Structure 1
Amino acid sequence: MEQPTWNDPELAAGTMVRGALWLIQVVGEGNTFTKSQLRDAFPGVSQADRRIRDLRDYGWVVYSNTEDATLTAEDQRFVKAGVPVWDSKARREAAPKKAISSKDRQAALARDGYMCTVCGISGAEPYPDDMVTTAVLAVSRRTVVGLGGHETVVLVTECKRCRAGHGDAAIDVTDGIAATADLGAGELRRLLRWMERGRRGATALDRAWSAYLRVPPEQRVEITERIRKMQ
């Protein structure tokens, strides 16, 4: 996208975008500017300095006297340009991710049966190959690549070990199809039942174990004693 002019009256952009263009076209990388100059450039805009600070979320480096002791309280230094925020596509791709709300996190955990969607382990369950370490579940955003190549972002439940192993790698839908290649007819029928229900077909024993693991360790002994009396 061609770089627009910062004070073009036809430019439909907010102060952050115009401020980025002003820094490049008027101030220049490595040079300083004052708060007065910023106010003169954007008259009537009460929070122009805040919009300049917002550019830091997009990789722009602007120093105040906090980062550069040679500057006065009135001065700032434009060190380096970052994401071309006047390009809406680049701006969307680089936008800071909002924190996942508690409501959305709980909904994702419940949908995934409080189990890691990668390895299937439940929260607080010991790893089979490391009985000392128990799984800690987290909800994270993952990019999903569809059959047509289009991408969407979804919330998924993963244990921290699987999350560390996969990093930010995208989930490819074709991998889900390829993984069924070695399944027998009976296994495919069972998988389809899981798909139709929207969850894995855990047994009653699996569900009881998962419910037990969700109880804090100090209360588990009470469950154990109660179940012993049920025998």
Structure 2
Amino acid sequence: MPLPAWNDPELDAGTMIRGALWLVQEIGEGSTFTKEQIREAFPGISQADRRIRGLRDYGWVMLTNTEDATLTAEGQRFVKAGVPVWDPAARRAAAPQKPVSAKKKQGVLADDDYMCTVCGISGGESYMEDSNQTAVLSVTRRTTVLPDGREDVLLVTECKRCRSGADGSPARADEALAQIRGLDPGDRQRIQRWMERGRRGSTPLERAWNDYRRLPADARDSVRAALES
């Protein structure tokens, strides 16, 4: 199917879509363009340059002089076209996801006991193999295979290091269920009790350490001072 012309007055599309067509039809991959060219192509359109930059959220690659030293401050290089945003179905499928609200993030962190679900480290805790690096937790989206085989994208707490080292494979609730069902009856009862309590069995030492690590920094200092006095 031929592409619609970027400057077709009958085209019912916004500046980002028209800008994508303009890049493909007038500039071409590998070529450069300037903000002045954008202003000339889209006269009277407020912030047309910013709207065209929004194509980066759809996989379009455009470089500025901070990324390509051969460019001027006004210049950009159109490297590669991404999602064909003039196709409504393709655009909807690739639309950037809405940010997670602060309230939702706090709920996910609390559900995950303020610990990374991958390595189990708490926020602000030092890594055992690198005491100079402390864990930073965030709530991220992860594709998950549910027990019935369906896939869904769910929120989970991960530390920055585990998130950056992830291979993109989905979490497997179906496999976890199969492993639990394969346990002997005693272990299966034990893990079900952990599920009911929302935490696994732990020693008093582990519970004291986790409670301490979740305190604000000033409160941790006060606890240490009280123990030393």
TM (normalized to structure 2)?
0.70
Question: What is the one-letter code of the residue matched to 2:221?
Answer: E
User: Paired residues, what number?
Assistant: 223
Amino acid at match of 1:224: L
Match of 1:182 in 2: 182
Residue in 2 that maps onto 1:192: 192
Closer/same/farther in 2, CA of residues 48 and 162 from structure 1, 3 Å limit: closer
Would the alpha carbon gap of residues 163 and 182 (structure 1) be closer, same or farther in structure 2, given more than 3 Å must change?
Answer: farther
Deviates more, 1:172-181 or 1:31-40: 31-40
Aligned to 2:16: 16
**What amino acid does structure 1 have at the position aligned with 2:47?**
Q
Partner-residue secondary structure (3-state), 1:179: helix
CA contact (8 A) 1:116 1:157 kept: yes
- Aligned partner of 2:223 among 197, 220, 223: 220
1:7-38 CA-to-partner distances (Å, cap 9, x unmatched) read 45565432111210121123323445555553
TM-score, normalization by structure 1: 0.69
What residue in structure 2 maps to residue 138 of structure 1? Answer: 137
Deviates more, 1:89-98 or 1:135-144: 89-98
Of all paired residues, the percent bearing the same amino acid is 53
Using the TM superposition, give the Cα deviation of residue 50 of structure 1 relative to its aligned residue in structure 2, in angstroms.
1.6
The C-alpha deviation readout for 1:114-145, integer Å capped at 9, x for no partner, is 23323444446677x75968872512322212
Letter in 2 for 1:212: Y
In 2, Cα distance between the equivalents of 1:35 and 1:161? 38
Give unmatched runs, 5+ long, in structure 2.
none
Q: Within 1, Cα distance between the matches of 2:168 and 2:155? A: 12
Change beyond 3 A, Cα 1:174–1:48: same
Quick one: which amino acid aligns to residue 220 of structure 1?
A: V
Matched position secondary structure for 2:223: helix
Q: Tell me how far apart the structure 2 counterparts of residues 210 and 88 of structure 1 sit (CA, whole Å).
A: 49
Q: Is the 8 A contact 2:121 2:135 kept in 1?
A: no
**Structure 2 CA distance for partners of 1:224 and 1:159, relative to 1, 3 Å:** farther
Match of 1:208 in 2: 208
Deviations 1:97-121 (A, max 9, x none): 6665554433222111123323444
Q: Which amino acid aligns with 1:136?
A: A
